[in-house]
Structure 1
Amino acid sequence: MAKQASTLTGLLVVNKPKGMTSFGVVARLRRVSGQKKIGHAGTLDPNVDGVLVVALGKATKLIDLLQTRPKTYQGTVTFGYATESQDADGEVVEKKPLDEGLDEAELQSAFQSLEGDIIQIPPIYSAVKVNGRRLYEYARAGQEVELPRREATIYEFKPTSALRWEEGQPYQSIDFEARVSKGTYIRTLAYDLGKSLGLPATMTSLTRTAGSGFSLDQAVDLDKLMEMSEEEVEKQLLPIADVLDYERKDLTDEEYFAVSHGQKISKWPKNESGYYQLYYDQKLIAVYFYSDEDELWRSRYQF
């Protein structure tokens, strides 16, 4: 008799280890959870560890929402050389050894200059798509392609350590913290920090400490999850409601019938956020949003 498909629904906050793709994390969790409907919010490069939020079952509907939320990173940038990928995994393409230490005031000003709304040009060795192909595919094929310009918002970008010399090397490094919008390339941010100082620079380490509304202290190590049974994994799941911060509305029987069939609602007054999370019999049923164009409420998510 075939094993019944898993009905697990909720969110797992995973501490992704270095050396693994985000897709690899999802593939492993699909096996241990038995849930085929599973995805992650916000890709982490293989050499980056930290918070990776994984959605299972009906929670996968919220991935687009989760991805819009700010992310926080802690990392290290090294000045004096740059690589083709703008991180430590790439081949060195430029060197400018430092004769003397960087000026602390100039460096602080450079950090501040990159806060706010900025335009980034991602490296050729990245997963950004151009004409249906990822940039790294063009690079590996030796083909030229115009690099796209991407908008990003840097909410905060600051040093978190003193400058230090790399042992036996004419390079200086500093640790940083960055709180950023969806789509920000932190390695490009590190590269641009060096560029603003007239120096090649490389992101040499990175950890995502928060993302999609969850922090590293809420995350479970992937290795621990892989040792769990499906029932134990279920105990680690956070409910969908933990993601939502919209005003709650409890439905009448009549409203429940309309909402459960995805019908539009005109009688509710517009609230401040333009969203409601809707409950019936103490269960989350749906999220509705107010359409200014139609002047009525429409279904955004059904659970």
Structure 2
Amino acid sequence: MNSGQVRSGLIIVDKPQGWTSHDVVGRLRRLAGTRKVGHAGTLDPMATGVLVVGINKATRLLTYIVGTSKTYEATIRLGQSTVTDDAEGEITAETIAAAVTDEDIRSAVKALTGDIQQVPSSVSAIKVGGERSYARVRAGGEVNLPARPVTVSRFEVHDIRREHGGKLRDVDVTVECSSGTYIRALARDLGAALGVGGHLTALRRTSVGPYFEGQASTLDQLAEDLRLLDLNDAARALFPVRELTEGEAADLSHGRRIPASGTPAGEDAPVAAFAPDGELIGLLADKGDTAKALLVFAPGNERS
């Protein structure tokens, strides 16, 4: 596909199991015919589901999408711990979980809901002394990451099953959480709270901010039709909107401040500013009585 034919926008990908997020970006670079492609938050290879990818100008929106809330469907296995806190890692401990009741599980889940302090998985991409944590662990080293505040706004149990002759318990859950929350760490901590260990056996991301799995396309579908979410539509879904006058649009395009937007989100909250013709001019944030430009998109050049 010729890069001149590809407009700026987002692609909502249904990432297949076994693919890294970088693999998906590489595939879409070839399909879109441009190297200006990036993603808004990594999904582990074992996970499937929503991966938001930006093309051309829309890559500049990705930093704002990374920080949005996420929703996941997951299965947690109680009775086994692994080195990676998921099914891809070697089992490090096994404990018979037959005595763990449904009530015990639901009570422990409740304790992990809300504003909590979470120690990230040791095989995360967090850098320790300039080295990715997962690289140090896989090289045989040890990593002690500090706890960080995260918000688990929903941790709902759907089904609890006995597996392996009743020795293990599998728990199907939905998790809605803030950016930076590790579902593998929730599985680990649920198992630890119940005294039997736990790890993640399945994970699917069903939403990232306002973008959801019903909008997502498989890589095979994207090879037939790139299914681009236009930059203007993507911004309208992500931010509060301000419709500019022609004078305001001209001022903003030239880097001049304009009167404050006065949005309920308050100062520093990004607002998508649109010209009278419906084109996205940029992102604004209020500073006192004026609005300053956070991003300005150069008109006409799709690859800028």
TM-score (norm. length: structure 2): 0.89
Matching of residue 245 in structure 1 with residue 239 in structure 2: yes
Aligned pairs for 1:1-303 within 5 A: 7-98=6-97, 100-161=98-159, 163-168=160-165, 170-226=167-223, 228=224, 232-233=225-226, 235-238=227-230, 239-252=233-246, 254-265=247-258, 267-268=259-260, 270-274=262-266, 275-280=270-275, 281-292=277-288, 295-303=289-297
Give 1:204 shift.
Answer: 0.8
Paired residue type of 2:36: K
Go from structure 1 to structure 2 and tell me whether the alpha carbon gap of 1:301 and 1:172 turns closer, same or farther (over 3 Å shift): same
Distance of 1:192 and 1:12 partners within structure 2: 34
Go from structure 1 to structure 2 and tell me whether the alpha carbon gap of 1:77 and 1:255 turns closer, same or farther (over 3 Å shift): same
Distance of 2:256 and 2:20 partners within structure 1: 40
Distance of 1:31 and 1:97 partners within structure 2: 49
Deviation by residue 1:269-297 (Cα, 9 ceiling, x = unmatched): 633234543222222211211024xx421
Deviation by residue 1:84-110 (Cα, 9 ceiling, x = unmatched): 100001011111123x34222221111
Go from structure 1 to structure 2 and tell me whether the alpha carbon gap of 1:80 and 1:125 turns closer, same or farther (over 3 Å shift): same
Structure 2: tracts of 5 or more residues without a match: 298-304
Give 1:155 shift.
Answer: 0.5
Paired residue type of 2:40: A
Paired residue type of 1:102: V
Deviation by residue 1:6-46 (Cα, 9 ceiling, x = unmatched): 65201111100000000100100010011221111111000
Deviation by residue 1:197-228 (Cα, 9 ceiling, x = unmatched): 122111111111111311111111112212x2
Structure 1: tracts of 5 or more residues without a match: none
For the residue of structure 1 that corresponds to 2:238, the secondary structure is coil
8 A Cα contact 1:249 1:276, kept in partner: no
Paired residue type of 1:166: E
Distance of 1:64 and 1:168 partners within structure 2: 47
Moved more, 204-213 or 180-189: 204-213
8 A Cα contact 1:120 1:188, kept in partner: yes
8 A Cα contact 2:6 2:32, kept in partner: no
Identity %: 37
Give 1:165 shift.
Answer: 1.5
Give 1:169 shift.
Answer: 6.1
Distance of 1:84 and 1:158 partners within structure 2: 25
Give 1:54 shift.
Answer: 0.7
8 A Cα contact 1:6 1:35, kept in partner: no
8 A Cα contact 1:79 1:173, kept in partner: yes
Distance of 2:36 and 2:65 partners within structure 1: 16
